[in-house]
Structure formats: C-alpha cells, structure tokens
Amino acid sequence: MDVPKVAPRSAAIELAGLLDSPEIAGLVRELEATRWTGRPGYPIRAMVGMALAKSMYAIPTWTRTARLVAEHAALATALGCAESTPSEWACYRFAAKLRAYKPLLDACIVAVLDRLREANPGMGESIAIDGSDLPAYANGQRFVSKNGRERAASEYSDPDASWGHRSAVSTRKGGGYYGYKVHAAVDTLTGLPMAWTVETAKDAETTFALGLLDTVRERGFAVRNAIMDKGYDNGPIHDGCMDRGVCPVTPLRQTGRVKAGDANAPTCEHGDRTFAGTDYKRQATKWRCPTGECKPKSTWVKADRMHPLIPRHTERSRKLYSSRGAVEREFGRLKHEWAMLPLRVRGLDRVRLHADLTILAKLGCALRKARAT
Ligand SMILES: [Zn+2]
C-alpha cells in the first residue's frame, strides 16, 4: 500500500488538525519537556506527526512513511518540517523514545478517551472483550526443514513471538500461527477501543479479560456489562466481573456441571421456576413457582456462572450478546484500514508501541470527528 488512501491536501489538513488538538499538542509538550533532542533535531511535533500519519494513511513501515512525507510538500508543511523531512532513521530513534516514555503516551490516550466519553454519553456502559491474531514479522516456519525438527524460539527472527491458535472466521481457515495477540475491550456503542494489550500468541485470552476491565474502569468509565464469547465463560471471570459490579454476558460453555443440569432453571415440586427479575445490589436473580402454590412464591439464586444476573435465555442477554460483533469489527478496521497489520517490527515492546500508536491515531481521528459535529 504505497499510495495514501486520501489526497495529500486533505490528508495534510486532517493531520495538522490532529496534531493541534489539545490532547496531542499536550503529548508534544510533555515530550519536549523531557529535553530529548532527536538527532538531527527534528521538532517533536513533526515526529509525533510522522507516527500518526503512518496509521492514518495505513502505511506499514517508517521507510514508506518517510518517503510519503518527503514527496508531498503539503504533508511536510503540515508537520512543520518542510525544509528537511525526517528520515526513517529519525523515526526509529523517535519510536525508541516513545517506548522509553510510555507513561506520557498512555496519559495522552487517557486524555483522548476522556474527551470521547464527554462527547458520547453512555460510552463504556457495555464493552465487548476479545483477542485477535497479529502474525509476527518473522520467519514463521515451524520446522527447520521438511520432516525436520521443530524450530527453537531462539531460531526465529522474532523470539518474543510464539505459536498461537486462531479460530476460523468466515472464509479463512483457522489454525496455528506465529506471532502475537492483541486483546481489547471495545465500547459497543461507539465501536471504539477503550483498553488493549498485546501479548505473545500462546497466552490464553481469558488471562487478560479482568485486567482489561480494570483498565477501562480506571479510565473513568462506568462499565455495566462485559460481553465475551464462550471461551471466557469460566467461574473466575464471572466472579471477577461480579466483584467489579459488572455483569458478564457469555454463552454457556458445556462443562461437566452444565451437562449435569446445574445451569437449568431452579425447580420446585410444581416444575421449573420462571425468572422473575434481578436484584443487582444483592447480586441475585429471583425465580417464581410456576403455579404460585409455593410459600414463599419465589426463591433467590445467588449469581454465578450457571445463573448469571442477566439470565442467558432472556431477550436482554441475547440483545447484549449480539453487540459483541463490535470488537471483531474493530479488530478488522484496525488491521486493514489503520495498518495494525502487517507487523513490520519485531519484539513485544515494539509491537506494543505500534498497537498504541495505531489506536491513538484512530481515537484521535474519532475525537476530531465528534468535535466537528
Ligand atoms: Zn412451586
């Protein structure tokens, strides 16, 4: 993808607008205050602009980003570096600086999310959590030769990556891949990512769900529902959500207890009891005797994975679950429209920075759009 998807003039206006937004300008100031000077001294604003341009125009490498800016005077002017545009090497050095000053980048992301929350009341109330594959920029041959031994981690060009598994999606076959996984919590209302982490591919997705939930909450969002696929349906995640005052919404995984009938509606001598409401404070659901003959008529069931606060058979559960697609759609957009893929960096820290910058560019543009309306 050598060609930017928009004409350089409007691209330049968009980029300058993003750089001058209070949140990104704040990041530039903070980075300037660290008194780091990039050889040969490009302005920090220009370097942040290079980083954002890379995602905004879906360019996989610094080399191509540097070339694009060098070839388009309007972009170079927008970045404030018309006399001499940054080289790919300046970009690499700047990326190293951003990794070293990750807390400043994180603070900028939080500031952008703050403003987005103000612009979108209800943002973060329901979040969808999932993980998605990021194949490494590396030799991914699992075996050293046909019928040969399995390659050791040190023999890959990216030893931080590992073998993971991805599920089949529409026409793509599932199977093993070598690389990383991005785990994210996406707001189902706006479709925007609110917390994310990149991990090596072999780590199970379920490990990161509660951490993502904590990050979304720390970022000031009042989360009420966490929507996840069947893979996340386990006791610790259910109870962890409950501890945080969040209702988990997942399909039921067919475990031994489920097969034994533990997830069925509670019964009385008159048959299956019917669901009669949820008490969120008590963290329990109410189930009524089908004939009303029992005294008392209703019984309370403390919430657990078998009987969540939003029972799986209800319309509310179905509706919430149908909004889970938001997270998969966002992974698709980030990968294909914002150049989260293909990875052209190696090592966990560099892949993490790449994901952070990709998502910051995306969120920054979403905020600009929200401000314009
Ligand atoms: Zn009864």
Mention every residue, 6+ apart, whose C-beta is less than 8 A from residue 318. Answer: none
Per-residue pLDDT tens over the stretch 83-135: 899 999 999 999 999 999 999 999 999 999 999 999 999 999 999 999 999 99
Cα 278 to ligand 1 centroid, rounded to whole Å: 19
221/214 Cα distance (integer angstroms): 10
Cα 296 to ligand 1 centroid, rounded to whole Å: 9
pTM over 0.75: yes
Can you give the pLDDT at residue 157?
79
Residue 170 has pLDDT above 80, yes or no: no
pLDDT band per the 50, 70, 90 thresholds, residue 143 = low
Can you give the pLDDT at residue 1?
43
Residue 152 has pLDDT above 70, yes or no: no
Do the beta carbons of residue 85 and residue 67 sit within 8 Å?
Answer: no
Cα 46 to ligand 1 centroid, rounded to whole Å: 72
Backbone angles phi, psi at 105, to 5 degrees: -65, -45
Using a CB cutoff of 5 Å, list residues around ligand 1, an ion: 268, 270, 289, 294
- H or E segment and range at residue 68: helix 62-71
Residue 68 has pLDDT above 70, yes or no: yes
Cα 298 to ligand 1 centroid, rounded to whole Å: 8
Burial 317-327 (b: 16+ CB within 10 A, else e): beebbebbebb
